[in-house]
Structure 1
Amino acid sequence: MSEVVTESVGASDRKRSVLWSYAVFLTVIVPIALAVVFYRVDPFDPAELPLHELAQQDLVVPRVNDRLLHGSEFIGSGQMLGPEDIAFEPESGVIYTGCADGWVKRVKVNDSVSDSVVENWVYTGGRPLGLVLGLNNEVIVADAFKGLLNLSRNGNMELLTDEVEGRKLKFADGVDVAKDGMIYFTEASYKYDLSGFIWDVFEGKPHGSLMSFDPTTRRTKVLVRNLYFPNGVQVSPDQKSVIFCETVMRRCKKYIREGEREGSVDMFVDNLVGVPDNIRYDGEEHYWIAFSTSVKPYWDIAFKYPLVRKILAIVTRYIGRPQMEKNGGLLAIDMEGKPIAHYYDPKLSMISGGNKIGRHLYIGFLHHPYIMRLNLDQHAAS
């Protein structure tokens, strides 16, 4: 009898061993084999980024508020999806913002944000991203799909430009206007449009440019080529330069507008604590750079290694893009590019723009359905 029991136990052990082997094969070996096959056959070819160009020391910010959500108010919640950039008209107290549904909206903010009024103003039919007030309070819009637009005060829309050097613009992004009327804007990529922006980030190749549009001659000109996803644009208050963000390289550069070095490009600030989107000047000797996410730890590794970016591209293509964004916020820097204060929150991501208006910091998002506001007198970085 004991021999029968022993044989039964042995058979049971062998069965468990076989099942365990199958389980290991299905859950470990097969996924690894499939991953190797996908990696070899997938044509996506990311490049090394020139990270050696960045400052070797981390950017040290003297003042920090790492609880941006604490004390923040939400304006127009549910009435505007993805208010990407913010332009303020002081005379009327109206905020203009472009949203994911194609509408440029006007927002009248009252003392109580619950009483704020959100109005559908102009429908572009595309995706308005960067926008800025023109010299006569018209609104200049960089629409990712339509190009550079002018929205008159009465809401009429005019196409300024949608092509350069004989080709159509692929991805208009940030914009600003100089006091002489010259309009500066970025094309984030000539290869990918907005719907494929993540592929441009993963590929790590310089497909972008800084451009100008002269409203007098109607000429569109490429000023700086081979940029790594150029994004936000801001003309300096002295009008001598144009600051623009290079998202993938986590830096802002300065294009010289006039003088002996006209046309040259300098580094303004680099090795940023986050991935930069828009940049805006607040009229009080500070620029505000919006960060969609911090760079550590995930993005830091991805930026360093093309292998990691290819794996992320494969995962994105066949499974869906992993959510790696966190610690979204804004960085205040002075006129020399030195950091002043960093406002962020671990629970925030995809912050795309913001500026200090009065005593409040107004914040826009690529996807979230509201503008966020923080009273800087009550919640200043420390």
Structure 2
Amino acid sequence: DSNFLFLFCYSTYSNKVFSVTFLSLAVAVIIPLFGAIILLKCPIDPQPISFKEPPVLTGPLEPNFKLRQAERLFENQLVGPESIANIGDVLFTGTADGKILKIENGEIHTLARLGHGPCTGREDEPTCGRPLGIRVGPKNTLFVADAYYGIFEINPVSGEVIPLVSSKTPIEGKNLSFINDLTLTRDGRKIYFTDSSSKWHRKDYSLLIMEASDDGRLFEYDRVTKEVKVLMGGLRFANGVQLSPSEDFVLVAETTMARIRRYYVSGLMKGGEDMFVENMPGFPDNIRLSSSGGYWVAMSAIRANPGFSMMDFLSEKPWIKRIIFKLLSQETVIKFVPKYSLLVELSDTGSYRRSFHDPNGMVASYISEAHEHNGHLYLGSFRSPFICRLNLKDV
């Protein structure tokens, strides 16, 4: 009994010593660690935002594998063909190396460059240039939005470049730091374009999303008067734009908020704005017309329901965002974003008609746009080294 009592007392004493020692060591490690984290600089000042519960992926949004029926074109011959336009069967796109490419008879040619080299990675973008939105005007010339340089008109044969709006000129006291997309009237006089942020450049788009900055804007440029007007401000990552077929309103993707806003440019509602689609199942990028009279909206990341959305989880937790970006680089953070490509077709009133999915982005990855031409969808990407083509008869 005395031996048992001794062992019991010794065991109790040892457990207490171990517990105290463990707690002491934990405190000794954790407190300095948190102190070090607090002292680290954070590149963003995140703002809390609120989301509704994501829409359930049923009905027109039912998950499928239809995007996997697309074929990859020109694989490893171009990188990041963000936006696509066509004149007849000739395709045009802008790529991550700052080039405007012309694709004719299966061959790729460099039509123009808006910046200058080297173009070895994202840190070179400000000088290399990054062509994003591209459109064809009424005289079959190209109109291009470059994230760093501005808005340009380009001759599709000679490659002659005419600057229209320079990003070097502030508008109403704010910089044009991330020019993104453009759309224009049928007569070519008015160009509507977005600037995603007056603070963040395109190379730091993940910081813009995570900070949830509300400094995006929608502009109108008049090619006759040369005047630039601010139509909308306070947008969180103003992205793709599309003029309606009747040219009475412009749709603007507000990526961070997973919604599409509408601004009226003519008619009784001129100067007014409202919500076209809110609480979308993903984060919208470019918006383009569909042959049915509706709109194609591309998304490279979704808000799964049922499932888990990291962006929704972090939206009202700025302190977690700060810790993440104190400890991890942008490249590392991006690796944690699930690859899931989603393309939705909206009606002319903003309801969902149908959706095409590629879970895990196995075939169509990082999609940024769906450009419809001759019964096919040409899928642009801000990152992938190819263009995808989907035959609409197959889906």
In which range does the TM-score fall when normalised by the shorter chain?
Answer: 0.7 to 0.9
Taking structure 1 as reference, are residues 61 and 205 closer, same or farther at Cα in structure 2, changes over 3 Å only? farther
Contact 2:191–2:221, Cα closer than 8 Å, also in 1: yes
Q: Does 1:241 align with 2:275?
A: no
- With 356-365 and 202-211 compared, the bigger mean Cα shift is at 356-365
1:335 alignment counterpart: 348
> Which residue identity is paired with 2:177?
K
Structure 1 residues 342 and 36: CA distance shift in structure 2, 3 A: farther
- The reply to whether residue 312 of structure 1 matches residue 324 of structure 2 is yes
Matched to 2:101, the amino acid is K
Q: Say if 2:117 is the partner of 1:123.
A: no
Unaligned runs of 5+ in 1: 1-9, 110-115
In structure 1, the residue matched to 2:41 is 42
- 2:71 maps to a residue whose letter is E
CA distance in 1, matches of 2:215, 2:292: 34
Contact 2:197 2:213 in 1 (8 A): no
Structure 1: distance between partners of 2:212 and 2:285? 16
Equivalent residue for 1:97, pick from 90, 93, 111: 93
CA offsets 1:227-272 (integer angstroms, 9 cap, x no match): 0000001000011000110000000011101123211111001111
Match status 1:228 vs 2:236:
yes
Indicate if the aligned counterparts of 1:61 and 1:340 stay in contact, CA closer than 8 A.
Answer: no
Q: Provide closer, same or farther for how the CA distance between residues 221 and 61 of structure 1 changes in structure 2, counting only shifts above 3 A.
A: farther
State which of 171, 183, 188 in structure 2 corresponds to 1:176: 183
What is the CA-CA distance between 1:285 and the residue it aligns to?
1.3
Aligned partners of 1:202 and 1:310 also within 8 Å = no
Aligned equivalents of 2:50, 2:176: Cα separation in 1: 26
Secondary structure of 2:69's match?
A: coil
State which of 384, 387, 390 in structure 2 corresponds to 1:368: 384
- Residue 332 of structure 2 aligns to a residue in which SS? coil
What is the Cα-based RMSD across aligned positions, in Å? 3.2
Deviations 1:324-367 (A, max 9, x none): 13212211111000011111212224211112323222111111
Correspondent of 2:219 among 198, 206, 211? 211
CA deviations over 1:123-162 (Å, ceiling 9, x no partner): 1211001111112111111100101111123211111112
Aligned pair partner of 2:152 in 149, 154, 157: 149
CA change 1:40–1:47 in 2 (3 A) is farther
Q: Quick check: 1:88–1:133 contact (8 Å CA) kept in 2?
A: yes
Corresponding residue for 1:85?
A: 83
Query: Contact between 1:49 and 1:205, CA under 8 Å: does it hold in 2?
Result: no
Give distance in 2, aligned partners of 1:318 and 1:174. Answer: 23
Among 137, 140, 164, the residue aligned to 2:140? 137
For residues 176-325 of structure 1, what are the structure 2 equivalents within 5 Å? 176-181=183-188, 182-296=190-304, 297-317=309-329, 320-323=332-335, 324-325=337-338
**In 1, Cα distance between the equivalents of 2:30 and 2:294?**
50
Residue aligned with 2:225, SS: coil
Greater mean alpha carbon deviation, residues 119-128 or residues 238-247: 119-128
Mapped pair 1:161 → 2:151: no
Q: Aligned-pair distance for 1:213?
A: 0.8
Pick one of 370, 380, 393 that aligns with 1:354: 370
Distance 1:58 1:310, change over 3 A: farther
Alpha-carbon distance in structure 1 between the residues aligned to 2:330 and 2:385? 28
Assess if the C-alpha contact under 8 Å between 1:277 and 1:289 holds in 2: yes
Is 2:206–2:330's contact at 8 Å kept on the other side of the alignment?
Answer: no
Per the TM alignment, residue 107 of structure 1 is displaced from its structure 2 partner at its CA by 2.0
Cα 1:59–1:255 shift into 2, 3 Å:
farther
State the identity %: 31
CA distance in structure 2 between the aligned counterparts of 1:127 and 1:58, rounded to whole angstroms: 35
Q: Is the 8 A contact 1:202 1:313 kept in 2?
A: no
What is the TM-score normalised by the length of structure 1? 0.84
1:33 CA drift (Å): 4.5
> 2:347 and 2:30 mapped to 1: Cα distance?
50
Shift in alpha-carbon separation, 1:152–1:59, aligned structure 2, 3 A:
same
User: Partners in 2 of 1:316 and 1:242 — Cα distance?
Assistant: 37
Q: 1:39 to 1:274 in 2, by over 3 A?
A: farther
Alpha-carbon distance in 2 for matches of 1:61, 1:39: 46
How far residue 283 of structure 1 moved from its aligned partner, in angstroms, is: 3.1
SS in 2 for 1:312: helix
TM-score (norm 2): 0.82
Letter in 1 for 2:193: F
C-alpha distance after superposition, 1:78-117 (max 9, x if no partner)? 111000011122x3x11211100001112236xxxxxx22
Q: How many residue pairs align between the two structures?
A: 360
Change in Cα spacing, 1:56 to 1:354, as seen in structure 2 (3 Å) is closer
For 1:134 and 1:254, how far apart are their aligned partners in 2? 22
